[in-house]
């Protein structure tokens, strides 16, 4: 019985092995057949080796781009412009791995039927050793989802996906660098907003912006950083590089001045002048010839008033963990110190949750608006010590009836506060209780 069982097992093994061999062999053959039927490539190039790109459209001057041995792509025809490196790279990526959908004719004799006798679009690519490849793109196929294409000097006609044509068929506006300023936001060290009677100057020390003019003031770092970003992102709006410079210049000259922004960085200085005509904004840059329509976002950013750029918070400690808090309210004084994870008052632990509530209220204490006068004798004083005792911030608050004015120690700026917010802060300090001792 044992021998018979072994014979049966061996037979089953050989049947399974044969089936597996046949299955693998069949898959390999099928794979070979699929490969043979796969659409042939039209172009296969080394993108990094391409040094010149020429796009020729029917009844339009050719666009020629070159890339020096070291440097970025440049447009040299029909005019000299810096090129949009991302757009050029995307176009070359499509060209260098360009596949067909199918081979229509291996030896086409009548190119007119495909629109390839006088193609609407010809793209010439020059690579190593000045070897040139010319792609001809003709009519749409009857379905409209593809176009006919071939290489100049060859007789094979292919169909190519329409989306590939869209990736290649670029205009001068598509290919040129549309930036109006080339200094990145994180490289800006100074921004001057020159506006009629309301000039503002911002200076940056490391990552912190300050207002230098019209007088030294604390800046809202988020707001000034957003301004820097809007300036760095200033672009010509689509279709705004007008073919009629005289008309653009006339529009700009009659538009209302908004601001001139001067940007300074270690690499140099640039500026952009922004004007408004009805609801549209136009700009003139120091690094690009011409007048261009720009986004309303840029226009709004450079016309903001001074107060929008000021820091409305009275304390700077932000999300840092304070080491000591002191609140004086008339004759009452509250002092809280942190020892490791515990908060204490008069050497006794206090409820950490209510202390954190007080910290939040101090952190969020902000002006409802800025005023030039109104601060009298302070009735409230709040002091926060942080950064391991290296930073001490003191805020003085004058309460007169239903009005509260705050001022940072050693600063002249006055902050109008919501009296209810000040009352809530004092109430929170007064309600901090001893910590609850866990029962054994």
Give the whole-angstrom CA distance, residue 47 versus residue 56. 20
Q: Where in the chain is the domain with CATH 2.60.40?
A: 41-175, 185-309
pLDDT, tens digit, 9 for 90 and up, residues 190-217 = 999 999 889 999 999 988 999 999 999 9
In angstroms, rounded to a whole number, what is the distance separating the alpha carbons of residues 228 and 234?
10
- Burial class, 48, CB count within 10 angstroms (exposed 0-12 / middle 13-18 / buried 19+): exposed
**Banded pLDDT at 8 (limits 50, 70, 90):** low
Residue 187: count other Cβ atoms within 10 Å of its Cβ.
15
Mean pLDDT of 308-335: 96
- If you count them, how many residues does the chain have? 440
Greater pLDDT, 128 or 218: 218
With respect to CATH, is domain 41-175 assigned 1.10.1220? Answer: no
Q: Say yes or no to pLDDT of 293 above 50.
A: yes
What is the structure's pLDDT at 245? 79
- Measured CA to CA in angstroms, residue 64 lies from 89, 227, 290, 347 at distances of 15, 36, 21, 78
In the chain, % of residues over pLDDT 90: 80
The residue-averaged pLDDT of 407-424 equals 96
Q: Is the pLDDT of residue 393 over 90?
A: yes
Q: In the predicted model, what is the mean pLDDT of residues 8-16?
A: 49
Structure tokens at 397: 């608050």
Element (H, E) at 20: helix 2-37
pLDDT at 12: 44
Long-range Cβ contacts of 195-203 (<8 Å, 24+ apart): 195/257, 195/258, 195/259, 195/260, 195/302, 195/303, 196/257, 198/305, 198/306, 200/306, 200/309, 202/227, 202/309
Q: Is 211 helix (H, G, I), strand (E, B) or coil?
A: strand
Q: Between 9 and 174, where is the model more confident?
A: 174
Q: How confident is the model at residue 240 (pLDDT cuts 50, 70, 90)?
A: low
What is residue 71's predicted lDDT score, i.e. its pLDDT? 87
The pLDDT, as a whole number, for residue 277 is 93
Is the pLDDT score of 291 beyond 70? yes
- According to DSSP, residue 40 is labeled P
Across the chain, what does the average pLDDT equal? 90
Strand 74-77 vs strand 81-82: parallel, antiparallel, or unpaired? antiparallel
| Confidence check: pLDDT of 7 > 60 | no
CATH number of 185-309: 2.60.40
Model pLDDT, residue 35 = 43
Q: What is the pLDDT of residue 9?
A: 52
- The pTM is what? 0.80
- What is the C-alpha separation between 426 and 141, in angstroms, rounded? 77
Reading the block at residue 233, the tokens are 């992102």
Report the share of the chain in percent with pLDDT over 70.
Answer: 90
Q: What share of the chain is helix, strand, coil (3-state, %, to 5)?
A: 30, 35, 35
Q: What angle do CA 362, 367, 368 make, to 5 degrees?
A: 130
Give the pLDDT score at 3: 53
Residues 417, 399: contact at Cβ < 8 Å? no
**Overall average pLDDT of the 320-334 stretch:** 96
Residue 373's Cβ-side half-sphere holds a number of Cα atoms within 13 Å equal to: 0
Pick the residue with more confidence: 238 or 349? 349
What per-residue confidence (pLDDT) applies to 118? Answer: 94
Q: 41-44 and 102-105 as β-strands: parallel, antiparallel, unpaired?
A: unpaired
At 13-53, the pLDDT tens digits run: 454 455 444 444 443 333 333 344 678 999 999 999 999 99
The four Cα atoms 163, 92, 82, 189 give a dihedral, to 10 degrees, of 90
């Amino acid at each position: 019985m044992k021998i018979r069982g072994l014979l049966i097992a061996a037979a089953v093994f050989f049947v399974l092995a044969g089936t597996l061999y046949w299955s693998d062999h069949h898959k390999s053959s099928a794979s070979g057949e699929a490969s043979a039927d796969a659409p042939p490539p039209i172009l296969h190039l080394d993108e990094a080796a391409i040094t010149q790109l020429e796009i020729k459209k029917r009844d339009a001057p050719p666009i020629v781009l070159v890339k020096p041995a070291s440097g970025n792509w440049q447009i040299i025809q029909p005019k000299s412009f810096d090129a949009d490196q991302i757009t050029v790279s995307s176009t070359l990526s499509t060209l260098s791995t360009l596949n067909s959908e199918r081979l229509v004719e291996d030896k086409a004799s009548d190119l007119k039927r495909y629109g390839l006798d006088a193609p609407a679009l010809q793209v010439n690519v020059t690579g190593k050793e000045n070897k040139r490849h010319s792609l001809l793109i003709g009519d749409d196929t009857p379905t409209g989802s593809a176009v006919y294409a071939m290489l100049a000097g060859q007789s094979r006609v292919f169909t190519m996906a329409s989306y590939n044509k869209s990736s290649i068929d670029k205009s001068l506006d598509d290919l040129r660098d549309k930036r109006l300023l080339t200094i990145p936001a994180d490289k800006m060290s100074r921004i001057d907003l020159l506006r009629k009677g309301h000039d503002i100057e911002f200076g940056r020390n490391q990552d912190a912006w300050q207002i230098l003019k019209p007088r030294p003031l604390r800046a809202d770092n988020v707001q000034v950083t957003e301004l820097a970003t809007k300036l760095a992102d200033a672009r010509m709006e689509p279709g705004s590089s007008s073919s009629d410079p005289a008309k653009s210049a006339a529009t700009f000259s009659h538009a209302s001045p908004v601001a001139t922004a001067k940007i300074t960085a270690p690499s140099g200085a640039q500026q952009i002048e922004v004007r408004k005509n009805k609801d549209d904004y136009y700009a003139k840059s120091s690094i690009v010839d011409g007048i261009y329509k720009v986004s309303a976002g840029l226009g709004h950013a450079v016309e903001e008033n001074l107060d929008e750029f000021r820091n409305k918070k009275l304390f700077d400690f932000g999300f840092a963990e304070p080491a000591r808090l002191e609140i004086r309210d008339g004759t009452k004084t509250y002092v809280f110190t942190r020892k490791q994870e515990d908060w204490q008052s008069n050497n006794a632990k206090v409820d950490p949750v209510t202390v954190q509530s007080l910290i939040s209220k101090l952190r969020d204490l902000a002006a409802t608006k800025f005023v030039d006068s109104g601060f009298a004798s302070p009735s409230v004083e709040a002091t926060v010590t942080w950064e391991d005792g290296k930073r001490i911030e003191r805020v003085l608050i004058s309460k007169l009836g239903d009005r509260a004015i705050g001022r940072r120690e050693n600063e002249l700026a006055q902050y109008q506060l919501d009296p209810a917010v000040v009352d809530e802060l004092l109430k929170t300090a007064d309600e901090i209780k001893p910590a609850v001792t866990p029962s054994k």
